[in-house]
Structure 1
Amino acid sequence: MTTVKIAPTLRTPREKLSAGRYATYAVLLLLALFAVGPMLLFAFNSLKTRSGIASNPLGLPTNPQWHNFVDAWQQANMGVGLRNSAVIVIATALGVCVIASCAAYALSRLRVPGSNGFIYYLLVTTALPIQLFLVPLFYMWTNLGLYDSLFGLIVIYWAIFSPFATLLIRSFMVGLPKEYEEAARLDGAGEWRVFTRVVLPMAWPGILTAALVAGLGAYNEFLLAVTFIQSSDKMPVSTALFSFQSGYTQDYTLISAGGMIMVIPVLIAFLLLQRRFIDGYTSSGMTG
């Protein structure tokens, strides 16, 4: 009678891959909890009472207080702040797109003398902190009559966000095929027509990504807004929330509700445009 030896079972590559995938999912889940956890606690606190936060700051709200959002909206004047922020974000995004797209086209397609030095200059300017220029900029804006003006703040945002946007759009334009541009030139199109009718439609994902980066940066920016805007009717939502927090330091429920009102528009915009944002950012070649 012959005996049959059973070989020890070995893990297949598919099983090893599944184990590695589960470990990856576990790490991603922990990172997601680390990122979303503070936001959930912020949302829970916005629905509690003052005594509820004191007794259970990390738990769920037992009796949701939805009127906290109404009170925060009225007392913090969030409507005016959101309106001013919308004006700042739209104007900043449009201005940065115009400035950066024109500069990126010149650096990527035209033979500009010293273009490499200009690119290095943009890299250096993006690394410098704005605090270095705060005092002379404040003095200059006061003399020009741009202090306490939304337009003056928008011009500063153009200068801050345009260098990075230029590099982002340029890296996108470098990868575009030049055959369409050459065909347009053979048909008699000028440089401006080639730029607006041929290059811009193909570079639209990169331009949209630059607009989203500039818009979100302008919406969340605080230091320049609190420095150059003093009138309550011109404050963006970030400074309006800060003023409200300074006046109501004890009522954390209303502060949390006001913070949620500020976060919700950005969250909705990112959820709607996240695919375009990620695609444009990765296709530009600046992900590392």
Structure 2
Amino acid sequence: MNLVENRTTLRLTYCALGIGLLIALFPIALLVLNSLKPAAQIVQNPLALPEVLRWDNFTRAWADARFGATMLNSAILTATTIVLVCSTASLTAYVLARRKVKSWKIITFYLLGTTTAPIQLFLFPLYFGFARLGLINNTFAVALIYTAVYSPFAVMLLRTYFLAVPRELEEAAIMDGASHWQVFSKVMLPIVSPGILTVALIIGLYSWNEFLIATTFLQGAERQTAVVAFFLLSGQYTSDWGEIMAAALIVTLPVVILFVLLQRRFIEGMAGGAVKG
């Protein structure tokens, strides 16, 4: 009886996973399908197979959105943000995990508040302040804003990794004559590297797809990111949906490839972060 019940449960689980997979992959399949169609056929029936493969959608999208330059801008901005967030958040998380902080409840409330607060609350003061300082169209300045926005989440996640590391390792390293910086850089960082990789992937995804801050502070054409360039492809009265679908696929492809290559590390990192809070 138990064997029959287990098989039934297993089949139901596979069915549920299959349905979830179809729901998750359907938008991607529809995007690929429509990126190879002319605009007229997309408007007529977006679910139909393409009558003629329009590979020129990709070449026109690449040229019109200047993806050669805008994707490089996105890559520089994303990489800078990842370096800043991972370096500052790991140092902060290590201190909060290993030192007794009397005001920890206040810090927790602050981190949760800044994680959930919408960026629209700070957008106008930030813009006027950055304009007075001459930091509009400055990629590093935008990376600093991203760092301030994403660091609270990174600190709270990385703190759980440092808490899971036994204190005996740290104490043994100190007894061997290692300084606090050596303990952090030589002992702790290699152990929590899955967590840092997880943070890097999440922050990289957020930074690559971010639109509001990028379009507000990077107004020059030479500083535009790929997401902003993709948005500008849509005309006020008419839009070439085949070109837009091809551009959307080009923008999302680097993130999808990176996640597929690092998905095992990402899942291990997320699971490891839940060990101890």
Normalising by the smaller structure, the TM-score range is over 0.9
Cα contact 1:44–1:61 (8 A) shared by 2: yes
> What's 1:262 paired with?
251
Alignment of 1:115-126 (within 5 A): 115-126=104-115
TM-score of the pair, normalised by structure 2:
0.95
> What's 2:10 paired with?
21
> What's 1:9 paired with?
none
> What's 2:222 paired with?
233
Q: Residue 205 in 1 paired to residue 208 in 2?
A: no
Task: Report which stretch shifted further, 53-62 or 163-172.
Answer: 53-62
> What's 1:242 paired with?
231
Cα contact 2:73–2:225 (8 A) shared by 1: yes
In 2, Cα distance between equivalents of 1:93 and 1:15: 50
Please list every run of 5 or more consecutive structure 2 residues that lacks an aligned counterpart in the other structure: none
2:159 to 147, 170, 187: 170
Cα contact 1:46–1:253 (8 A) shared by 2: yes
Deviations 1:227-250 (A, max 9, x none): 111111111111010112236842
Flag the 1:249–1:265 CA change in 2: closer, same or farther, 3 A: farther
> What's 1:31 paired with?
20
In 1, Cα distance between equivalents of 2:83 and 2:6: 46
Cα contact 1:281–1:287 (8 A) shared by 2: no
In 1, Cα distance between equivalents of 2:101 and 2:235: 51
TM-score of the pair, normalised by structure 1:
0.92
> What's 1:193 paired with?
182
Deviations 1:110-143 (A, max 9, x none): 2344233212211111111111111111111111
In 2, Cα distance between equivalents of 1:207 and 1:43: 32
User: What's the C-alpha RMSD, in Å, of the aligned pairs?
Assistant: 1.7
Q: Residue 214 in 1 paired to residue 214 in 2?
A: no
In 2, Cα distance between equivalents of 1:52 and 1:132: 42
Q: CA deviation at 1:286?
A: 7.6
Deviations 1:10-35 (A, max 9, x none): xx212211112211221222222122
Q: CA deviation at 1:106?
A: 0.5
Flag the 1:287–1:38 CA change in 2: closer, same or farther, 3 A: farther
In 1, Cα distance between equivalents of 2:132 and 2:122: 16
In 2, Cα distance between equivalents of 1:153 and 1:37: 34
Q: Residue 85 in 1 paired to residue 67 in 2?
A: no
Q: CA deviation at 1:202?
A: 0.6
Q: What SS does the corresponding residue of 1:244 show, helix, strand or coil?
A: coil
Residue type of the alignment partner of 2:204: G
In 1, Cα distance between equivalents of 2:238 and 2:129: 34
Residue type of the alignment partner of 2:34: N
In the alignment of these two chains, the number of paired residues is: 277
Q: Percent identity?
A: 42
